[in-house]
Structure 1
Amino acid sequence: MTTARLSSSVVSAADLLGGEAVLRTRPRLSLDWIPLVRRGLPSASVDAIVRLTRITQSELARALGIPERTLARRKREGVLSPDESAKLVRFARVVERAEAVFEDKEAALEWLRSPNAALGGEAPISLLDTDIGADSVLDALGRIEHGVFA
């Protein structure tokens, strides 16, 4: 993947997690993620998403609901647990969706970090540690996309 692609279009969840070079495959369908999550994502996926989203590892750990020390240990071990992998994939898919809705990486990341009235005043990124929170964020993005609220 080239740098030009990163700046000119929406980055896929797979790309956010390091692409084929890190994942050793190219998930194209939702079901393609299942064996990757069950096996555990390579810890290099953490480095890739931190680099591409320019959030700190500490912010990512909070967003995933994974203690920062655990995340650091997994990086040393080289692989995330299936549960941690599922959380990281969920995070990447939400970032991908936000970028698609806003058609701009910076605007998407700013929206994810900013308190949102439609989400009870919470920043969307702070809700991604649970399925219900992530679903609420995706619902808010769908409403924005369809012009239900600004």
Structure 2
Amino acid sequence: MAKKKTIKYKAGKPGNTVEESAAIYVVKKNVNGLKNFSSILSFSHKPESQMTNFEKMAAVEDGISKEELQKLKEKTSMDYDKLAKALSVTRATLINKKKQEKFNAGLSERIFSLADIYSYGYEVFEDVARFNTWMFRPNQALGGKTPFELIGSPFGRDEVKNVIGRIEYGVYS
């Protein structure tokens, strides 16, 4: 039987210490159609999908303005009819607000939630137009419905976000 040899190392002796310099790696995706992949609603320097829940709550408490909704409308290529359906409100509710006037907390939260889904989708798909098109295509993982058909309710938005997450990790969706 082989005899085990034990080596005792003393701290501080050359050759007994391994040092590694600290490093932080930041990967910034270049998303086709988004300059520097910034926030859709312009609340922060980072996209809605990367904001903490506390940052999201603060933005919703402050309220979403008509001007910010307009940015979402332009980025998503949705008209007021589609936005109204996605947000479960009348078209007039969206149109009648003045530019700087803010929506109530409930509607602000739904607007932010929609921006969060689109922001996450843009990040995963890495192409604004491709994701916008995907939102209106039937999806087997969603029971043959389009993602857009489901985003009118909180549960539907969760399902759409789950499917985007599955796509991100390469799970059949």
Say yes or no: TM over 0.5.
yes
Quote the residue 1:16 is aligned against.
Answer: 40
Aligned to 2:12: none
Q: Say yes or no: does 1:83 pair with 2:106.
A: yes
Q: CA contact under 8 A between 1:10 and 1:104: conserved in structure 2?
A: no
The letter for the 2-side match of 1:16 is I
User: CA separation in 2, counterparts of 1:128 and 1:48?
Assistant: 18
1:78-117 alignment, distance < 5 Å: 78-117=101-140
Q: Where in structure 2 are the equivalents of 1:108-127 lying within 5 Å?
A: 108-127=131-150
RMSD: 2.4
Structure 1 position 126, deviation (Å): 2.1
Gaps of 5+ in 1: none
Q: Return the letter of the residue paired with 2:111.
A: L
- In structure 1, distance between residues paired with 2:124 and 2:35: 12
Structure 2 portions without partners, runs of 5+: 1-29
Distance 2:77 2:34 in 1: 17
CA distance in 2, matches of 1:76, 1:102: 31
Q: Quote the Cα distance in structure 2 between the aligned partners of 1:67 and 1:11.
A: 30
C-alpha distance in 2 between matches for 1:136 and 1:58: 22
Structure 1 partner of 2:5: none
Q: 2:65 — aligned with what?
A: 42
Q: Please, which of 163, 166, 169 is the counterpart of residue 140 of structure 1?
A: 163
Give 1:36 deviation, angstroms: 2.4
Higher helix share: 1
Partner of 1:149: 172
Per the normalisation by structure 2, the TM-score is 0.71
Identity in percent: 26
Instruction: Tell whether the 8 Å contact from 1:43 to 1:80 is kept in structure 2 after alignment.
Output: yes
Q: Please report how far the alpha carbon of residue 148 of structure 1 lies from its aligned counterpart in structure 2 after TM superposition.
A: 1.7
Amino acid at match of 1:69: A
